[in-house]
Amino acid sequence: MRVFYQCYGRAHTSIVAAHLHLGNLPAETRPTVREIMSLPYFDRARETDIGQPLLLGRDRDGHEIFALGLGMGIRQGLGALCSVLRTGGEEEPLVVNTLKGLGLVARLGGGLSRELGLVAVGRPLVAHGVVKIFPRLVRTVDEVKAVLREIVS
């Protein structure tokens, strides 16, 4: 099955959630801001990457784990993704919104870094925000794994 962790720009929460799912980031301890900032693909996506799923790897059960940004067009983007996959005879994907709970300061940091190019200011701000909601991301990923186990069994 394909799992898409979806946020606004495919730069922050979707990347962290996908790494968490793949076991690249320990779920037991809250990471530091530096650890978050050093994750591959964290705060690296450009505006042109919106709508382009990024395959980060396969989990232990063989599920493909993607990060995806849908910008402001969530409803339409999800419609197109599911509709094309269904029409193409593929299994319905599991799409998980990871933006929930991300604070205003973190969103502002993401915008400063990705939209305005102020990486030195924006990246630590958004990483700090991600550290703050880390337990929520862990819960989300755990729920996704539980759903996947249920589907497989």
Partner 1 sequence: MKVVYLCRTGGHAAPVAAAIRLGLLPAEERPTPEALMRVPYFGRIGRFDSGFLLPCGRTAQEDEIYVAGRGRYGRLFSEITAAAAGLCRDEFRVIGCERAVGEWRLLAMHLAGILLGPRAGRALAARLLRRCYPALAGLALADRDRGRG
Point out which residues bind partner 1 (CB under 8 A). 2, 50-53, 70-73, 75-81, 83-85, 87-90
Distance CA 112, CA 43 (A): 11
Nearer to partner 1, 82 or 118 (CB): 82
Minimum distance of partner 1 from residue 90's CB (angstroms)? 5
SS (H, E, C) the chain: CEEEEEECCCCCHHHHHHHHHHCCCCCCCCCCHHHHHCCCCCCCCCHHHCCCCEEEEECCCCCEEEEEECCCCHHHHHHHHHHHHHHCCCCCCEEEECCCCCCHHHHHHHHHHHCCCCHHHHHHHHHHHHHHCHHHHHHHHHHHHHHHHHHHC
Minimum distance of partner 1 from residue 119's CB (angstroms)? 24
Nearer to partner 1, 69 or 109 (CB): 69
Nearer to partner 1, 85 or 147 (CB): 85
Minimum distance of partner 1 from residue 32's CB (angstroms)? 33
Is residue 94 a contact partner of residue 81, using CB atoms and an 8 Å limit? no
Minimum distance of partner 1 from residue 140's CB (angstroms)? 22
Minimum distance of partner 1 from residue 93's CB (angstroms)? 9
Nearer to partner 1, 71 or 103 (CB): 71
Nearer to partner 1, 74 or 108 (CB): 74
